[in-house]
Amino acid sequence: MAASRLRPILFFLGAMALFVSMDAINKTLTQTYAVPQIMAIRFVLFVAMGCIIARQGPWLVLRSKAPWWQALRTAVLLVEMMMFVLSFRYLPLADVHAVAAAAPLIATALAHFFLGEKVDFVGWLLVAGGMVGAVLVVGPAFEHFGPAMWFAVFATITWGVYQILTRIVGRIDSAHVTTLHTPIVGLAIMSVVATFYWHWPTPFEWVLLLIGGALGAGAHILVVRALALAPASELQPYNYFMVVFATVLGAVIYGDVPGIWTWVGAAIVVACGLVAMRRAAKKAA
C-alpha cells in the first residue's frame, strides 16, 4: 500500500486505541469527579501537546480561515465528549461502544450527502458489515438500555457530525490550526465551569487524570491528522476496531472473558478493515 494511503489509516487506528484506553480510565474517574473537571484537565494537556506538535503558541488559531466552522466543530465536540463521559459513569464500557458503532454509518451518510464523497455499494457493505461485527462483539442484549443510554446515542450522533466538520475545516485550515483551536476554546469554557465542581484529587487520581487527558489529546490529534489526509467515508470502517480494542481491555482490566460470538464479531470487524485497506491500496495504485 502506498505510504500516503497507509498513513491516515494508521493515524485513525491509533486514535481508536487511545480513545478506548481513555474511556477505561474515565469510567473510574467519573465515579468521583464531575465531567467538567475531567475535561478541563484533558484540555490543558491537549493545548500543551498541540503547541508542541505545531511548534507555535496558542496565537496560531488566529490564522484560521474558517473561524465559524471551527467554532461549530468545537461546540459539537464539547457536547460529544460530555455525553460520552456521562455514559461511562452509568453504563458498562462495552454497551456504550456498541451504540457508538453506529457513528461510521452516520459519518459515511453525511459525507456522501454533504461533502460529495462517493460511497459505492461495496463501501456501504463494509460499513454495515463492520457494524454487524461490532454488535456481535458486545452481544445482542442491551440490559442497561434506559434513560442513561440516550447519552450514548446522542454522543454517537455528534461524533459522526464532528468527523464531518473536521473534514470540512481540514479542507480550509492547516491541521495545526485545527488541532489547537478545539482545546484552546474548550479549555476556556471548561476551566470556568470546572471551578463550580472542583474536587482536589489524590496523588494517584492526579496520575489517572493526567494519563486520561494525555490519551484523549493524543487521540484527537491523530483524528485531525487522519481526516486531513483521507476522506471521512474511507476511514469509517476502521471505527469498528474500537469495539475490538474495548473487548481486549475489558478482558484484561475487568476480567470479562470474550465468548464465541465476540470472536466471530471481531473477525468480521478485522475482515472489513482489511478489505477496506486493500481497496484503498488499489485506489492509490
- Assigned C-alpha cell, 209: 487524570
The predicted structure's pLDDT at residue 261: 76
Of 158, 196, 212, 178, nearest to 39 (Cα)? Answer: 212
Q: pTM for the whole thing?
A: 0.74
Q: What is the pLDDT of residue 142?
A: 55
Question: Regarding predicted confidence, which is higher, 105 or 18?
Answer: 18
What mean pLDDT, rounded, does the chain reach? 81
Report which of residues 221 and 56 the model is more confident about. Answer: 221
Nearest to 92 by CA among 32, 18, 19, 27: 27
pLDDT of residue 145: 58
In angstroms, the CA 144 to CA 98 distance is 12
Q: What is the mean pLDDT of residues 60-84?
A: 86
pLDDT: is 101 or 230 the higher one? 230
pLDDT tens string 205-234: 899 989 988 898 888 888 888 888 888 777
pLDDT in tens, 157-211: 898 899 889 888 888 888 778 878 888 888 888 889 889 888 888 899 899 989 9
Q: What digits encode the pLDDT tens for the residues 80-98?
A: 988 988 888 887 777 777 7
Task: Report the distance separating Cα 128 and Cα 134, nearest Å.
Answer: 10
Q: What angle do CA 235, 58, 107 make, to 5 degrees?
A: 20
Q: What is the pLDDT of residue 3?
A: 58
